[in-house]
Amino acid sequence: MAYAEATRTEAADRAAPAKPPSQFWRKVRYQLLNVFAGLVLLYLFVPISVIILFSFNDPAGKFNLTWNKFSTDAWAHPFGVPSLQDAVVLSLKIAFLSTIVATLLGTLVALALARYSFRGRGATNFAIFTPMATPEIVMGSSLLTLFIATSGWPIGVDLGFWTILIAHIMFNISYVVVTVKARVYGFDRRLEEAAMDLYANSFTTFRRITLPLIMPGIGAAAALAFALSIDDFIVTQFNRGAEVTFPLFIYGAARNGVPVQVNVIGSIIFLVAVGGMLLNLMIQNSRAKRDARASAGAVRRAQASEAAA
Amino acid sequence: MGWLRKHAAYPLLTPGMAWLLIFFFVPMGFMFVKSLQTVTVDETFHQHYTLTWEWSNYTEAIRTYHSQFVRSFLYAGIATVAAFLIAYPLAYVIAFRAGRWKNLLLLLVIAPFFTNYLIRTLAWGTLLADDSIVTRALDAIGFLTVTDALGWTSEHRLLATPFAVVAAITYNYLAFMILPLYVSLEKIDKRLLEASLDLYANRVRAFLRVTLPLSLPGVFAGTLLTFIPATGDYVNAELLGSPQTKMIGNIVQSKFLVINDYPTASALSFTLMAIMLVLISIYARILGTEEVTTT
């Protein structure tokens, strides 16, 4: 028995030189996942590079699909196509207005859901969730049915700017509610109680404590709403009447050749969004560093005074 | 004051919920009524609708377009699984290994989705075109021979094939998969993993028994957020597909906006919604994460 034990350890010792390769393979396996993640990241950027690359193309025919010749013409005149400019302006208008209204309405709903217990809470949650679980085509087509059916009525709205705006506010509300609610749940209620204890009335407490604390949530919700609105195609196509937003311009142009300017504007939107997010990230980082320095300094000072005492 | 505090929720709720009621739930009712109407055309070519409880609109629509329904759910299903397989490792690496690069990497992940959806889809058109580098490379390594045999592509082409449509759908909704997965993986207490490793679980077991189950809410949210819009999508099939890849969205869109056959279009749209709700509730039962829908 003891002999068997001994030979087994001996065997293990002899096998020991084989250990580094297993360590090596473990490392390879570990790195494999990182490499895969890196490849996915690259893949995400493949179409984006095509879009930016082809914004510098001078296509041979109407279709900007094959590389012909380097040119900065489109960048020099991003709004060289007048109808494209109108479409971009309309998209921006709708995005701004729908973001403002949806953020306001959605934030109020989120506060009610996170702060109060009331009858009909389950139904409210269901009503918020359902639009997010509905394919856009169902949302768009049913809304169109409403607008067509009520077009003869005194309250009827003609298809066009207002119906697009109504639709965008509608699909944005749920996303705002969900985003803001997460933030309201996330913060320490005791901060508000402390303010109330210090004789702040509920309005002051809301303005000075609650609002600043949930502001990042509201900001994120607004950014999301803006992004969803400016990118929306399906719901807009159903409810636009004769109006043309930026995505609809692209769709219409796809058949007869998309002008290079579309790539330019697409690239600009991409660069502005990424630049904005980068700036936001850098500000957050420097703020975090400053806070860390400040608290480290406070600790040092406290230790120093303790030592002095 | 007491009364006010008790009922303060209602004034906050009313404007937002009224908007959803009038412009989301009421239209569903209108569409349901429309789906049961019959249309008659008078001698001046004006359309007149009468509610005749025409249930045959449904049976007729499903009989005629069942293959588009099946195709939509099939394409969306494949795209969702593909998106999950692509997204999970990336979300995992960002959540567990990225350290201080976490936020920057997240930014990089979201960034591509800030270019317009249609431009992205058209860019895939360029990438998958017949003489593109991608197509030629895939052909050279024999990939297209295999996919041709499987019926995913045909004649050594990528464009205007099911493969192109599903690939573009997968890409276009990837952000909706990555973000929920990341959020749920991020939340996992790393000490639980250490504990399982201390208890002599190997890494694979630790992943299967600890990480994966704890990330299920993210899997649930991500797959739904991908599957739902993917099923109703018609842009990818329109711009990158062929008549043989038409999805149910293409039919509903053309019936509503081109042919103006509102009753049939409404019946199709309503059927899509109904199937979707049934699938979601079954799925929620299976994954056991119903709180996702209620919180």
Please indicate, yes or no, if residue B228 is contained in any of the structural domains.
yes
What's residue A9's pLDDT? 47
Residues A79 and A261: beta-carbon distance below 8 Å: yes
Residue B283 has pLDDT above 80, yes or no: yes
Mean predicted confidence (pLDDT) in A238-244:
93
What's residue B265's pLDDT? 93
CA A43 to chain centre: 19
Residues A173 and B16: beta-carbon distance below 8 Å: yes
Name the one residue in this structure whose structure tokens are 């085509």. Answer: A137
Please indicate, yes or no, if residue A251 is contained in any of the structural domains.
yes
Please indicate, yes or no, if residue A285 is contained in any of the structural domains.
no
Same domain, A38 and A157: no
Please indicate, yes or no, if residue B289 is contained in any of the structural domains.
yes
What CATH number is given to the structural domain containing A126?
A: 1.10.3720.10
Size of interface A-B (CB pairs under 8 A): 238
Residue A17 has pLDDT above 80, yes or no: no
Please indicate, yes or no, if residue A11 is contained in any of the structural domains.
yes
Nearest to A96 by CA among A243, A246, A222, A231: A222
Residue B295 has pLDDT above 80, yes or no: no
Same domain, A44 and A8: yes
For chain B, the three-class secondary structure string (H helix, E strand, C coil) is CHHHHHHCHHHHHHHHHHHHHHHHHHHHHHHHHHCCEEEEECCCCCEEEEECCCCHHHHHHHHHHHHHHHHHHHHHHHHHHHHHHHHHHHHHHHHHHCHHHHHHHHHHHHHHHHCCHHHHHHHHHHHCCCCCHHHHHHHHCCHHHHHHHHCCCECCECCCCHHHHHHHHHHHCHHHHHHHHHHHHHHCCHHHHHHHHHCCCCHHHHHHHHHHHHCHHHHHHHHHHHHHHHHHCCHHHHHHCCHHHCCHHHHHHHHHHCCCCHHHHHHHHHHHHHHHHHHHHHHHHHHCCCHHHHC
Same domain, A27 and A91: no
What CATH number is given to the structural domain containing B201?
A: 1.10.3720.10
pLDDT digits (tens, 9 = 90+) for A145-173: 999 988 878 788 889 999 999 999 999 99
Domain that holds residue A251: 82-258
Structural domains of chain A, count: 2
Residue A302 has pLDDT above 70, yes or no: yes
Please indicate, yes or no, if residue B19 is contained in any of the structural domains.
no
Please indicate, yes or no, if residue A252 is contained in any of the structural domains.
yes
Same domain, A119 and A246: yes
Q: Cα(B248)–Cα(B251) distance, rounded to whole angstroms? A: 5
Nearest to A42 by CA among B112, B262, B80, B58: B112
Same domain, A249 and A123: yes
Please indicate, yes or no, if residue B248 is contained in any of the structural domains.
yes
Which A-chain residues 259-278 have CB contacts (< 8 A) with chain B? 262-263, 266-267, 269-270, 273-274, 277-278
Domain that holds residue B145: 65-294
Mean predicted confidence (pLDDT) in B176-187:
91
- The residue out of A54, A69, A98 marking a domain boundary is A54
pLDDT digits (tens, 9 = 90+) for B6-43: 677 888 999 999 999 999 999 999 999 999 988 888 78
Please indicate, yes or no, if residue B250 is contained in any of the structural domains.
yes
| Mutation target vs A (from B68, B119, B211, B223; most A CBs, 10 A cutoff) | B119
Q: Cα(B274)–Cα(B28) distance, rounded to whole angstroms? A: 11
The partner residue sitting opposite B115, judged by closest CB among A51, A112, A137, is: A51
Please indicate, yes or no, if residue A206 is contained in any of the structural domains.
yes
What's residue A89's pLDDT? 94
Give B17's contacts (C-beta < 8 A, 6+ positions apart). Answer: A109, A124, A127
Q: How far is the alpha carbon of A298 from chain B, nearest alpha carbon, in Å? A: 24
Residue B73 has pLDDT above 70, yes or no: yes
Same domain, A121 and A194: yes
Structural domains of chain B, count: 1
Please indicate, yes or no, if residue A304 is contained in any of the structural domains.
no
pLDDT tier at A7, thresholds 50, 70, 90? very low
ipTM above threshold 0.90:
no
Please indicate, yes or no, if residue B6 is contained in any of the structural domains.
no
Lowest mean pLDDT among A108-117, A193-202, B30-39, B263-272: A193-202
CA of A176: which chain B residue's CA is closest?
B16
pLDDT digits (tens, 9 = 90+) for B224-268: 999 999 999 999 999 999 989 999 999 999 999 998 889 999 999
Same domain, A31 and A133: no
Structure tokens at A218: 């509201």
Residue A12 has pLDDT above 50, yes or no: no
The pTM for the full model equals: 0.86
Q: How far is the alpha carbon of B177 from chain A, nearest alpha carbon, in Å? A: 13
Q: How far is the alpha carbon of B82 from chain A, nearest alpha carbon, in Å? A: 12
Q: Cα(A246)–Cα(A265) distance, rounded to whole angstroms? A: 10
Same domain, A104 and A189: yes
Residue A63 has pLDDT above 60, yes or no: yes
Task: Give me the percent of chain A exceeding a pLDDT of 70.
Answer: 93
